[in-house]
Amino acid sequence: MLRVFIFSALLLLFSVATVGGQQAPDNSSEVKKSYATYDALFEDFQAQREVLLTKMDRLRERENVKPEELKSVEDEMKTLDEKYGDALEAYIVGHPDAKDLMPARFELTVTFSRIDGKLEQSITVADEFIKSHSDSELIGDVYFIKAQTLFRLPGRESDALKALDTFIKEYPDRQDADPARMMRIRTLLFMNRVADARQSLGVLVKSDRVKEDKQAKEYLQNQLDNIDWVGRDLPAFAAPDLKGEVHKADNFTGKPTLIFVWDSNSSACLGELSFIQEAYRQFSEKMNFLSVSVNESKPALEQWLDKNPEAVKFPTVWFDRDAENTLVKKLDVSLIPFLVLVDASGKIYRYDVRSDDMLRYASKLTGE
């Protein structure tokens, strides 16, 4: 019986998992276990994984579980993934003529695709699987994993586009074909092929299956509307920050700008803050940053910032979200958190940016 961990190879419609990994620990002092068969290897790690899953379930059932407790188990799962990958790799190298190399290679492809430091190896293993097991029932999954992994690698956009086109051509009706189409559009945007991305989205919006899916059509139309903002001038505005310094649209030319619209009472916004903070850490010397608060009142915002002085290290302006003719209204912000990237000439580069795309775009804008 074919037994594999399919951790997160397949994605939900219109979403892309970007699960990060960590550097593999130094296990040089450990005595690494050897396995006679893939089944034995699988059963060993499956048992370990089930222990961690049970541990996680019990933590989530508790009313006052601490975030660091959950993170500790998540880290244990990541470490288990790394050890599993090491064991699979050792098994494949040590058993070149084994009859069960197909599931082992598949598992290695999936597992490496989950670990940031192993993405290139995942692609290599995927190519070996495609070469050696072209008749496998899992071949479509491997093509998708390869394309998804290439998509995650900055600098490999052309290769990702080719892999996505191959997958979509070969498997146009699979459940993961639409996520692949959305990845393809995001790849085109990473390549700054905005017109091609717009055209591809337009084709999807008009496709028969989308016409029959109201939710999908609404989502895609919204993405199409977002692309229409690209290339427009940042709307004119003038607003004082919390220290009284007035900020105007003209002040943000010469360097790219990140505008973050948020509310300190929104958990989603606070979750986004870590991405913004990382962008500021990496790019503050080459980018402008503007925090735009729509808290229920300016005093409420000031009180929150007083309690969290390290949260936002760049200028913050406050707008009444219901007031007319503000930057928030001019940008047609309806949902928060909301990110806009503006290029050095003052034109909108990307509108309503995904947080997991933002750092990649910021790197492109600043030439990093």
CATH number, domain with residue 71? 1.25.40.10
Note the pLDDT tens digit of each residue in 268-307. 999 899 999 999 999 999 999 999 999 999 999 999 999 9
| 203 located within any domain | yes
Range of the domain at 217: 197-228
| 268 located within any domain | yes
Q: 245 and 210, same structural domain?
A: no
Q: 242 and 322, same structural domain?
A: yes
Give the Cα separation of 175 and 179 in Å (integer): 8
pLDDT band with cut points at 50, 70 and 90 for residue 30: low
Indicate the average pLDDT of the chain. 89
| 12 located within any domain | no
Is 80 exceeded by the pLDDT of residue 87? yes
Q: 250 and 339, same structural domain?
A: yes
Residue 208 pLDDT: 85
Q: 104 and 203, same structural domain?
A: no
Compute the residue count for the chain: 368
| 356 located within any domain | yes
Q: Between helices 194-206 and 177-190, what is the axis angle to 10°?
A: 160
Residue 33 pLDDT: 81
Q: 361 and 264, same structural domain?
A: yes
| 271 located within any domain | yes
Q: 160 and 142, same structural domain?
A: yes
| 89 located within any domain | yes
Q: Return the ∠ at Cα 100 (arms to 96 and 103), rounded to 5°.
A: 110
Residue 17 pLDDT: 39
Q: 259 and 123, same structural domain?
A: no
Q: 148 and 219, same structural domain?
A: no
Q: What is the CATH number of the domain that holds 352?
A: 3.40.30.10
Domain end point (choices 136, 166, 192): 192
Q: 220 and 284, same structural domain?
A: no
| 214 located within any domain | yes
Q: 170 and 250, same structural domain?
A: no
Give the Cα separation of 273 and 337 in Å (integer): 9
Residue 209 pLDDT: 82
Once rounded to an integer, what is the mean pLDDT over residues 30-40?
Answer: 83
Note the pLDDT tens digit of each residue in 20-29. 333 434 444 4
pLDDT band with cut points at 50, 70 and 90 for residue 4: low
Query: Count of domains in the chain?
Result: 3
Q: 113 and 72, same structural domain?
A: yes
Is 60 exceeded by the pLDDT of residue 11? no
Note the pLDDT tens digit of each residue in 161-185. 999 999 999 999 999 999 999 999 9
Is 70 exceeded by the pLDDT of residue 6? no
Residue 31 pLDDT: 52
Note the pLDDT tens digit of each residue in 294-349. 999 999 999 999 999 899 999 999 999 889 999 999 999 989 999 999 999 999 99
| 309 located within any domain | yes
Note the pLDDT tens digit of each residue in 102-156. 999 999 999 999 998 999 999 999 999 999 999 999 999 999 999 999 999 999 9
Q: 182 and 45, same structural domain?
A: yes
Least confident of 40-49, 194-203, 212-221, 256-265: 212-221
Note the pLDDT tens digit of each residue in 37-54. 999 999 999 999 999 999
Is 90 exceeded by the pLDDT of residue 66? no
Q: What percent of the chain has pLDDT over 90?
A: 80
